[in-house]
Copies of this chain bind each other. A is one copy, B any other.
Amino acid sequence: MKERIIAEVSIVPIGTPTSSLSQYVSACLHVLQKASDIQYQLTAMGTIIEGPLERVLELIQQMHEVPFGMGVQRVVTTIKIDDRRDKLVTIEGKVESVYARR
């Protein structure tokens, strides 16, 4: 089974001119839009990515670089990886398995 993980990433630039971060989030998302081999979902608190672990981490590193290219001097990036190897999981499947319990 080709291993796929689900990760959530949040990229927070520090020392930005205002408290709005949407332009940075939007620019980071461009990295994922160009990656046709993974699935992703933008939420209010981060971006959820589904794909092979190595590939997801490679893309997150590219996303992490984006704010530096926009003039930011410090970036705090948080990554949470959910790696389950006894069952194939997907972004939709995880949510459905919770609702199926009702």
In the complex, how many residues of chain A place their beta carbon closer than 8 angstroms to a beta carbon of chain B? 59
B54 touches A61 (CB 8 A): yes
B45 touches A64 (CB 8 A): no
A15 CB to closest chain B CB (Å) equals: 4
Q: How far is the CA of A74 from the CA of B89 in the complex (A)?
A: 11
Given A26-B98, A101-B23, answer yes or no on A45-B82 (Cβ-Cβ < 8 Å).
Answer: yes
Question: Which of B23, B44, B50, B101 is A26 in contact with, Cβ under 8 Å?
Answer: B101
Q: How far is the CA of A77 from the CA of B76 in the complex (A)?
A: 12
Which residue of chain B lies nearest to A83 when distances are taken between CB atoms in the complex? B75
Question: Which of B64, B81, B98 is A22 in contact with, Cβ under 8 Å?
Answer: B98
